[in-house]
Amino acid sequence: MRPERISERGAALRARLVKAKLTLPEPEHRVPLGLAEADACLQGGLARGALHEVIAEGGHETAATGFAAALAFRMARVKPVLWIRQDFAAAEWGEIAATGLLELGLDPDRLLLLRVAQAADVLRAGADALACGALGAVVLEIVGTPKALDFVASQRLMLAAARAGVPAFLLRFQASVQAGVVETRWHIRSARSAPGAETWGGPRFDATLARNRHGRTGRFLMQWRCDDGVFSVPPNFGAVAAPAFDRPAAAKRA
């Protein structure tokens, strides 16, 4: 396709995006994570009708899976979550386990898992599914940095999410950051348990909010509380305190 056509379509999409965003109802549309510090950056919580990107640091793919699953199921409330994954991801990092979701306090009955071969299929199915307002959330699991995931593709997802008011999560493994329209971008790795802890708590994440269209960025240490379905500051936080810092959105993109 010729470059001017791409930018034309991009401009048209952007215009529609702006229109769609304006019609969104304000109050319902942000879901707090439970971690005050992060929620402050997010102006109250994660935007519902938007595209969020969760990028796994190398070797921390399952942590990123857990983070995305926790967010998706929390935001979906009682509605189904459509999880679209590439066959390669399941072979390399394991299949999503219903029993694992249950143990995290997430309802496996609400999971719809679509297994496809190509990243392009994931994107296509995702854009299609986002038109269905009855879904609670859509997770698109993509390996690498495929051609199909270009600027226009992310804009299309963002637009579809905004229109239906359904959150979309782009869960990426072995990915390099690309230009694209996302509401937030997170880099996720596991965080260590506090030394000498008596019992294991819920999963801990070292989460970097690297891009935030509507607020500050930051880095947070958070723990998923399986029983309550929220994130919180891990106990014994002082022992492994990671410095929280703010960066303007532009800094990370360079």
Partner 1 sequence: MVVDKVDNALRLTAVDRAASAVGLSVDMTLADARARVPGLVAKPADAEADRALLERIADWCDRYTPFVACHPPRALLLDITGGADLFGGEMALLSEVRARLAQQGFAVRGAIAGGTAAARALARYADGAIAPPGEDEAFVVALPVEALETEPATWSAFRRAGLKTVGQVAGRRRGELAARFGADLVFALDRILGRAETPLSPRLPVPSYRTEHRFAEPILTEELVLATLRDLASRLGKIMETHGEGARRLEAAFFRSDGAVRRIVVDMGAPTRTPAIVERLLREKLSALTGPLDPGFGYDVIRLAALKAERVTQGPHAEREVGVLVDRLAARFGGAHLVTFRPNDTHRPEAAAVAVPAQGAGSSTLEWTRIRGDGEAPRRPLRMFARPEPVEVIAEVPEGPPVQFRWRRALHAVAFAEGPERIAMEWWQGADGEPTRDYFRVEDSEGRRFWLYRSGLYARETTTPQWFMHGVFA
User: Which residues contact partner 1 (rule: CB under 8 A)?
Assistant: 59-63, 65-67, 69-70, 79-80, 82, 90-91, 93-104, 108-109, 111-116, 121, 125, 128-129, 132-135, 189-193, 197, 199-204, 206, 224, 226-227
Q: In this structure, is the dihedral angle defined by the CA atoms of residues 47, 49, 51 and 55, taken in order, positive or negative?
A: positive
| Nearest alpha carbon to residue 64 among 208, 244, 196 | 208
Q: What is the nearest approach in angstroms of partner 1 to the Cβ of residue 229? A: 13
In the complex with partner 1, the residue whose CB is nearer, 203 or 218, is 203
In the complex with partner 1, the residue whose CB is nearer, 93 or 151, is 93
Q: What is the nearest approach in angstroms of partner 1 to the Cβ of residue 14? A: 27
Q: Residue type for 211, please?
A: R
Cα–Cα distance list, 147 to 40, 150, 222 (Å) = 35, 6, 33
In the complex with partner 1, the residue whose CB is nearer, 170 or 181, is 170
Q: What is the nearest approach in angstroms of partner 1 to the Cβ of residue 112? A: 6
| Nearest alpha carbon to residue 55 among 140, 150, 114 | 140
Q: Is 217 helix (H, G, I), strand (E, B) or coil?
A: coil
In the complex with partner 1, the residue whose CB is nearer, 4 or 198, is 198
Q: What is the DSSP letter of 110?
A: G
